[in-house]
Amino acid sequence: MPADPPVRRDLRSALAKEGRLYLLALVCAVPGALAVWWTDSFWVGALVCLSFLGVLGSALYVYERRRKERDGR
């Protein structure tokens, strides 16, 4: 009994998207945590984290949008 390829591809695509979001969260949280550690100021760490999120989140959004257009969805 063969598996239905479109469902499998959608599942793989959804898992990959979730993985990219978790990676984005990690990449944004680490510099924020380091900034808190170096400066002993929560607000500096929050600003660093949000700055990374703004830049990298925008890049990920553009990537996802282009990927959707490329795949024809």
Which residue has better confidence, 35 or 5? 35
Q: Say which residue the tokens 């600003």 belong to.
A: 47
pLDDT digits (tens, 9 = 90+) for 26-40: 999 999 999 999 999
Determine if the pTM surpasses 0.85. no
Quick one: pLDDT band at residue 67, thresholds 50, 70, 90?
confident
The most distant pair of C-alpha atoms in the chain lies apart, rounded to whole Å, by 59
